[in-house]
């Protein structure tokens, strides 16, 4: 009965199976039973993505576009930081749900983003299944195989390894943009595959558009390095698959793909590119960007979790066997993916191999990113395809007796090697004084021993009757058992419910009560990640990988009192018993990290004040002066060029900071002499100024802050953050979206007309 239903609606049953396995994998994140509940561990997940999303909920809930974040790095572009994913449609849905419910607390946002992560895993599994069904289905049609069930089981195997294998269950779960970017790779590949089908007389242009839409979603999801890798994979797949259509059509397809993807995502990548050029990471070189896996980490392909928390190269033992079968067969479909897996694996070692030098020098954009181990995403995609191809061969044609004997001999050798390693660690555990260390190292080989032994029994049993589809179900169950045993409850999770996460620290109210408008906090304790955005505390710290270059210099290269002066710090939160300068102790207490003290500085530099003396200096001299404790930063402003006439003697002024909002600042100044209004506002090209309604220039002061020259008299100064890159990008995105909708409407209308003509014929 079950097999009959499976034959009539195999994809529906496969979808139900994937949903059921997804629930089984993540059920402890969803359960209302507190004693069973797990949640993702805090760290980057909470300190970056939860904090930023909370800020986005507040701003978007008020009908505003969050272009600037005043709560970290003394103020920084927000939307332009790609990892905030402000314009990513699924994130906008999460934000809308939270905003409608008025939920901006840390625990509410934590729970929502955790759910978003799990839904993306399911979406990625479905998309990979759809792609693999087309790939394997085409192979069965070419060989005139009537049943689609081998394709269904093979696609399930590849999709499971993609969604629940070592890579996607490793740090991408905590580094949300990596996961949410990677899951769109199958959709991009599916569009290209459909556009280049062998039964097409010409390229399927609307499928190229679909692929471009998928890539635009990957860009908006917010991890440039991952979508860079996916983009090169897509281009290579299009070239290999589309070469038979001729170079003219191929070039047009590549251009269409780039126009759709780049146009739809221009509102994100255009300001992001401009921001990247102003950050400290733009100055990193080959040595800084060439890190990757160490060679010994290859053992994680067989021995998961042996060398650390994660095993991003692990595919399951059966998955590895299926890859070997696909490589051994080397069919037309396999060769491309074998090459992708090999190149990606070598590239993931970074500068440890010579390949990285060639990539760094020859591949446009490759020199922008650190952490070359992230090339493992392409290894995972390629491995998922190879696993599906290997499973298809196994379930359709089986193995010859000769091949089966070779497999068994190879498996016995592998099993013996694993057994020897397990025995060695067991002996060390018994006799070595550091026994706990070897006990931990013993677990991966023992697990590998079990699944290796199971595989040696399972594969011969499977190939006896490969088209007995209960055995196909058993294949999926074996893979799921392997992956879920390893990955469902590892160190990404902690035994605490999401509803208990991120209670507001006791010191937040004290900090907020002692901060004047425009002033900032030195969050040495508790809010040093990006928690300032969560608790609405304007911190000078943050943990975004993108920071304005001058702010990076202030934070790390000059004395602490100098950075407080430059960045208008008024409150210091730390474990210190004393801080430099005149101060009051306004709060203290103990939390999970220990004792803390909160100090209010008695004479902080105001956010805006008039200065009547200027020192002209180049960048090197400017940095020397801002670091020199004897240089009076408050009395002398350092500029790159003369701003205009200045008095011989300092004038008198009153400065009133009337409005201080994220993208809008209003200041009233009364001065009896011309001078420079010095602002503790990071210099960024998107800020615009007006004086009494007339446009004015913002000058770079102290090498990284802002200043405006004023004549004597009364002035209303308005500062607005209006980055042209965003508005130009948004216009491009809207025009492209309109074009895609119109093209889709025309294509559907044409198809309907052709369908009507066929029915009337």
Distance CA 527, CA 72 (A): 10
* Strand extents, DSSP E, 576-652: 583-591, 594-601, 608-611, 613-616, 636-639
Distance of alpha carbon 615 from alpha carbon 719, whole angstroms: 24
Q: Is the pLDDT of residue 434 over 70?
A: no
**What's residue 761's pLDDT?**
61
> Region 680-698: what's the mean pLDDT?
97
- How would residue 429 be classed by pLDDT, with cut points 50, 70 and 90? low
Q: Give me the mean pLDDT over the 300-311 stretch.
A: 77
Q: Over the stretch 190-220, which tens digit does the pLDDT of each residue have? A: 999 999 988 877 788 899 999 999 999 999 9
As a whole number, mean pLDDT of residues 379-384 equals 98
Q: Does residue 591 register a pLDDT over 90?
A: no
pLDDT, average across residues 570-592:
89
pLDDT for 80 equals: 97
Give the pairing of strands 520-523 and 569-574.
Answer: parallel
| 33 — pLDDT class (breaks 50, 70, 90) | very high
Reply yes or no on whether the pLDDT at 300 is more than 90: no
Mean pLDDT of 48-62: 96
Q: What is the DSSP letter of 504?
A: P
pLDDT given for residue 310 in this prediction: 82
How does DSSP classify residue 374? G
Residue 382 predicted with pLDDT over 90: yes
Can you give the length of the chain in residues?
761
For the stretch 453-505, pLDDT in tens is 888 788 888 877 767 778 889 999 999 999 998 888 778 999 999 999 998 88
Own/partner contacts of 588-595, CB < 8 Å, gap of 24 or more, are 589/506, 589/507, 591/505, 591/506, 591/507, 591/526, 593/525, 593/526
The domain locations on the chain are 400-465, 508-601, 608-722
Mean pLDDT of the chain: 90
| Paired sense of beta strands 613-616 and 636-639, if any | parallel
The pLDDT confidence band at residue 757, using thresholds 50, 70 and 90, is low
pLDDT of residue 403: 76
pLDDT value at 418 more than 80: no
As a whole number of angstroms, the distance between CA 204 and CA 197 comes to: 8
Average pLDDT over residues 572-583: 91
Q: What is the pLDDT of residue 20?
A: 97
Q: Identify which has the larger pLDDT, 697 or 434.
A: 697
Helix (H/G/I), strand (E/B), else coil: 386: helix
Q: How wide is the angle at C-alpha 563 spanned by C-alphas 43 and 77, nearest 5°?
A: 55
Answer with the residue of higher pLDDT: 596 or 489.
596
Res. 119: pLDDT tops 90: yes
The confidence band for 243, taking pLDDT boundaries of 50, 70 and 90, is confident
Look at 546 and 755; give whichever has higher pLDDT.
546
Which CATH number applies to 608-722: 1.10.3470, 2.60.40, 2.40.30, 1.10.155? 2.60.40
Which tokens is 639 given?
């500029």
How would you label 713-747 residue by residue, b for 16+ Cβ within 10 Å and e otherwise?
eebebbbbbebebbeebbebbeebeeebeeeeeee
Tens of pLDDT along 306-349? 666 788 999 998 999 899 899 987 777 899 999 999 999 999 99
Confidence of residue 5 (pLDDT cuts 50, 70, 90): low
Mean pLDDT for 428-451 is 70
* Residue 483 near residue 160 (C-beta atoms within 8 A): yes
């Amino acid at each position: 009965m079950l097999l009959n239903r499976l034959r009539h609606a195999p994809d529906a049953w496969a979808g139900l199976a994937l949903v059921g396995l997804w629930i089984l994998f993540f059920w402890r994140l969803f359960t209302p039973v507190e004693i069973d509940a797990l949640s993702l561990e805090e760290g980057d997940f909470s300190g970056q993505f939860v904090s930023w999303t909370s800020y986005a909920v507040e701003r978007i809930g008020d009908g505003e576009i969050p272009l600037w974040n005043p709560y970290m790095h003394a103020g920084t572009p927000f939307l332009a930081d790609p990892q905030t994913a402000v314009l990513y449609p699924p994130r906008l849905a999460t934000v809308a749900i939270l905003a409608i419910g008025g939920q901006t607390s840390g625990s509410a946002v934590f729970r929502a983003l955790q759910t978003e992560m799990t839904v993306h895993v399911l979406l990625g599994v479905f998309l990979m299944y759809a792609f693999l069904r087309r790939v394997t289905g085409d192979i069965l049609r070419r060989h005139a195989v009537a049943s689609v069930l081998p394709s269904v089981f093979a696609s399930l195997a590849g999709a499971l390894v993609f969604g629940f294998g070592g890579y996607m269950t490793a740090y991408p779960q905590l580094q949300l943009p990596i996961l949410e970017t990677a899951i769109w790779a199958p959709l991009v590949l599916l569009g290209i595959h459909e556009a280049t089908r062998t039964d097409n007389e010409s390229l399927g242009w609307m499928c190229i558009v679909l692929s471009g839409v998928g890539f635009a979603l990957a860009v908006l999801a917010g991890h440039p390095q991952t979508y860079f890798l996916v983009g090169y994979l897509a281009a290579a797949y299009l070239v290999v698959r589309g070469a038979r259509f001729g170079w003219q059509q191929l070039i047009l397809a590549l251009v269409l793909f780039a126009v759709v993807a780049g146009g739809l995502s221009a509102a994100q990548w255009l300001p992001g590119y401009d921001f990247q050029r102003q950050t400290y990471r733009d100055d990193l070189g080959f040595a800084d960007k060439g890190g990757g896996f160490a060679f010994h980490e290859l053992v994680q392909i067989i021995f998961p979790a042996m060398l650390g928390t994660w095993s991003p190269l692990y595919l399951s033992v059966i998955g590895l066997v299926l890859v070997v079968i696909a490589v051994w067969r080397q069919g037309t479909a396999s060769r491309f993916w074998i090459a992708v897996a090999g190149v990606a694996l070598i590239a993931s070692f970074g500068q440890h191999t010579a390949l990285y030098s060639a990539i760094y020098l020859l591949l446009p954009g490759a020199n922008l990113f650190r952490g070359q181990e992230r090339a493992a995403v392409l290894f995972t995609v390629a491995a998922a395809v190879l696993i599906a191809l290997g499973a298809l061969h196994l379930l359709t044609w089986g193995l010859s007796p000769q091949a089966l004997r070779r497999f068994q001999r190879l498996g016995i050798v592998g099993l013996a090697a694993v057994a020897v390693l397990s025995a060695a660690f067991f002996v060390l555990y018994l006799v070595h004084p550091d026994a706990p260390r070897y006990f931990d190292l013993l677990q991966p080989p023992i697990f590998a021993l079990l699944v290796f032994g199971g595989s040696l029994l399972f594969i011969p049993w499977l190939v006896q009757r490969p088209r007995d589809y209960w055995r196909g179900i058993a294949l999926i169950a074996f893979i799921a058992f392997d992956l879920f045993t390893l990955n469902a409850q590892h160190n990404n999770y902690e035994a605490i419910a999401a509803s208990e996460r991120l209670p507001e620290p006791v010191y937040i109210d004290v900090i907020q009560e002692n901060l004047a408008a425009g002033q900032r906090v030195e969050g040495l304790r508790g809010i040093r990640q990006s928690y300032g955005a969560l608790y609405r505390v304007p911190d000078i710290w943050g943990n975004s990988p993108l920071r304005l270059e001058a702010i990076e210099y202030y934070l790390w290269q000059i004395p602490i009192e100098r950075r407080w002066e430059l960045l208008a710090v008024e409150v210091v939160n730390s474990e210190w018993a004393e801080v430099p300068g005149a101060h009051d102790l306004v709060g203290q207490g103990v939390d999970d990290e220990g004792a803390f003290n909160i100090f209010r500085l008695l004479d902080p530099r105001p956010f805006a004040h008039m200065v009547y003396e200027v020192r002209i200096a180049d960048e090197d001299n400017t940095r020397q002066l801002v670091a020199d404790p004897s240089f009076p930063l408050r009395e002398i402003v350092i500029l790159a060029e003369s701003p205009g006439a200045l008095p011989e003697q300092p004038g008198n002024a009153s400065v009133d900071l009337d409005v201080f909002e994220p993208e809008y600042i209003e200041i009233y100044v009364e001065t009896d002499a011309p001078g420079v209004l010095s602002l503790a506002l990071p210099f960024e090209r998107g800020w615009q100024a007006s004086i009494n309604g007339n446009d004015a220039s913002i000058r770079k002061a102290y090498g990284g802050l802002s200043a405006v020259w004023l004549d004597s008299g009364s002035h209303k100064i308005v500062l607005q953050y209006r980055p042209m890159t965003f508005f130009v990008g948004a216009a491009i995105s809207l025009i492209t979206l309109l074009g895609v909708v119109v093209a889709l409407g025309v294509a559907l209308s044409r198809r309907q007309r052709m369908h009507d003509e066929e029915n009337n014929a």
